[in-house]
Homo-oligomer: A and B are copies of this chain.
Amino acid sequence: MRIQTLTIVGVGLIGGSIGLAAKQRGLAERVLGVGRRQASLQQALARGAIDEGFLDCDEAVHRADVAVFCTPVDMIAEQILGAAPGCKAGTLLTDAGSTKAALVRSLANRLPAGVSFVGSHPLAGSEKRGPEHADANLFDGKVTVITPTADTHRPALDRISAFWKALGSDVLIMDPEEHDRALAITSHVPHLVAAALVSLLTPDLLPLTASGFRDTTRVAAGDPALWTGIFLQNRDAVAAGLNRLTNTLNQFRQALTHSDPVALDQLLAEAKRQRDDLEKNSSRRA
């Protein structure tokens, strides 16, 4: 795959990493970056993640053959709908947002002929932000979920698939709603729980935290505005996941308050089995 002009909207950790990877792997002739502040564009230019910086989103997207929107999930639909009318025929649009169903719904039947959108979600985030943390190998061996719909043209799907594979990613095709339900469990509910856990800390407890607490709560350092958008876009699936978690916590609570060692041990042993499976699966992928 070879792209003449790749436009990246939002040159933070994810956008910057796409730029670096695309350039290092010879995927794009020219990479344009869109930022809200000149300072982040300068940083992205200095890192070599982009060739040219733009404060005007539409202008940069109109020059693109492929454009990737790496902005907060609650801004993507508006940015795409704003830029699409001026796009060249054959322009392919995608994104890197953590939720997919609301976005895909917002764009259905609203793009001009000749402009395609296929949703993407690279599972390669971090609590870190900004182009200074961009990494050309961020997507290496990581999964990117692509969420076509019944209206998606096969060639567009194939090109987006090739795009993420060229960046080093493994590609998984999923229905947008199914993606959101899955990510509610594997990412959004864990984020809420990490935030709730760290909220229980009082200053006197700080010296009594060890690596377990730090690991369990690490993601809670993520950007609040970004995550507020994610939660609201995926509200129902997150609420359902939270209910499932509450039910499971109640099982633990009952075993605990009944001082039932057999029930506690069973619950913990089942959790350990699943966590050990996860570890095996991750090592196999790495």
- Say yes or no for A207: interface residue by CB 8 A criterion: yes
Residues of B near A221 (CB, < 8 A) are 272, 275-276, 279
In the complex, A158 has a CB within 8 A of chain B:
no
- Which listed residue (B195, B208, B214) contacts A183, Cβ 8 A? B208
A167 CB to closest chain B CB, in angstroms?
Answer: 16
**Beta-carbon contact of B259 and A235 below 8 Å:** yes
A241 at the interface (CB under 8 A from B): yes
**Residues in B whose Cβ lies below 8 Å from that of A110:** none
Is B196 touching A249 in the complex (CB atoms < 8 A)?
yes
Say yes or no: B214 contacts A239, CB within 8 Å. Answer: no
Which B residue's beta carbon lies closest to that of A143?
Answer: B207
B residues near A275, Cβ cutoff 8 Å: 194, 198, 217-218, 220-221
- Which has the most chain B C-beta neighbours within 10 Å: A195, A242, A285? A195
Give the complex CA separation of A126 and B211 in angstroms: 8
Question: A residues touching B (Cβ–Cβ < 8 Å)?
Answer: 123-126, 142-143, 145, 172, 182-183, 185-187, 189-201, 204-225, 227-228, 231-232, 235, 238-239, 241-242, 244-246, 248-249, 252-253, 256-257, 259, 261, 264-265, 267-272, 274-279, 281-282, 285
- Contact sample, A vs B, 6 pairs, CB 8 Å cutoff: A124-B210, A125-B212, A182-B204, A183-B208, A192-B256, A228-B264
Once the chains bind, are B197 and A193 in contact (CB under 8 Å)?
yes
Rounded to whole angstroms, the CA-CA distance of A238 and B256 in the bound complex is 8
Residue of B whose beta carbon sits closest to that of A257: B239
A221 nearest CB across to chain B (Å): 4
Q: A182-B205, A216-B219, A238-B256 are in contact. List 10 more A-B contacts (CB 8 A).
A: A186-B213, A190-B197, A194-B216, A200-B244, A209-B278, A216-B218, A217-B278, A222-B272, A231-B256, A235-B257
B248 and A261 within 8 A (CB): no
Task: State whether A272 touches B213 (Cβ < 8 A).
Answer: no
Name the one of B194, B210, B244, B274 contacting A198, with C-beta atoms under 8 angstroms.
B274
A152 to chain B, nearest CB (A): 20
